[in-house]
Amino acid sequence: MEFALYYTLAAIVVYFLAAWILDRIEIAYGKRFAYRNYVFFFIIFALAYAALTAINPEPSIPEQQESQSLTDKPGQ
């Protein structure tokens, strides 16, 4: 349940940070980009990837269970 809170907070921070970064880049460039939606997408994608990696650095791998043969009977 706590991961839902982390992901929600990360999404909010990433969105506003990406908008701020895009504004700073456009101010430095001197005018708005023609395809600013694409630039925003790449910024938010990179930030989201970094944030989600920071929240969950190691992917959870389920342990493999030993499979029983169909001929094995319990108690043998």
- Mean predicted confidence (pLDDT) in 53-70: 66
**pLDDT above 60 (res 68):** no
**Could you tell me the residue ranges of all domains in the chain?**
2-55
pLDDT of residue 64: 54
User: Alpha carbon of 76 to those of 1, 70, 73: distances in Å?
Assistant: 42, 13, 6
**How far is 68 from 65, CA to CA, in rounded Å?**
9
User: How confident is the model over 1-56, as pLDDT tens digits?
Assistant: 787 898 999 999 999 999 999 999 999 999 999 999 999 999 999 999 999 888 88
**pLDDT above 90 (res 58):** no
pLDDT of residue 26: 95
Q: CB burial class (10 A; 0-12, 13-18, 19+) of residue 72?
A: exposed
